[in-house]
Amino acid sequence: MSINVRGLFLCMKYEIQQMLSQGSGAIVNNSSTVGLFGFPGTSPYVASKHAVMGLTRSAALDYAKQGIRINAVNPGLIATDMVDRILEPLGITVDSFASTVPMGRVGQAEEIAQAVIFLCSDAASYITGQPLAIDGGYTVS
């Protein structure tokens, strides 16, 4: 909660101050697919990522007219050390979890980075307050 919620809140506080002074900006917060639904055995993490989505959506409404867009990426199963640490105590391997993803594979950090670049670009100028699930179709299955 300290990092995922309070840290994000404080970052946004100062990002928004700067963006208000410059007249516009784009913020992309890092949530998770579990910020869109629940997942067993990870209640504190899930709660923190739901809080990220609440902050993202509320701040997007607060600052839309000032030219500040605020969205979030919601990564699913991405090849990271953190995923290994979360799944291991649950007795789930990355490969077995990947078999539940419609695309049948683990995502890569570069795929998340590309989505962030898009959301910060002018190509996303009419998008605010939205979660972008980057999860190989997991949330729609």
Q: What are phi and psi of 74, to 5 degrees?
A: -125, 80
14 as an active site residue: the answer is no
Of the listed ranges 13-27, 37-51, 117-131, the least confidently predicted one is: 37-51
Number of domains in the chain: 1
27: pLDDT confidence band, cut at 50, 70 and 90?
A: very high
Average pLDDT over residues 22-34: 97
Going by pLDDT thresholds of 50, 70 and 90, the confidence category of residue 42 is confident
pLDDT tens, position by position, 85-131: 878 888 888 888 899 999 999 999 999 999 999 999 999 999 999 99
pLDDT band with cut points at 50, 70 and 90 for residue 1: very high
Among candidates 6, 137, 1, which has minimal Cα distance to 74? 137
**Out of 45, 63, 126, 138, which one is annotated catalytic?**
45
- CATH number of the CATH domain containing 107: 3.40.50.720
pTM (two decimals) = 0.92
**59-94 per-position pLDDT tens digit:** 999 999 999 999 999 999 999 988 888 788 888 888
- How high does pLDDT run on average in the chain? 95
* Residue numbers of the domain that contains 55: 2-140
Q: Is 133 exposed, middle or buried (0-12, 13-18, 19+ CB in 10 A)?
A: buried
* Cβ pair 13, 61 in contact under 8 A: no
Q: What is the pLDDT of residue 90?
A: 83
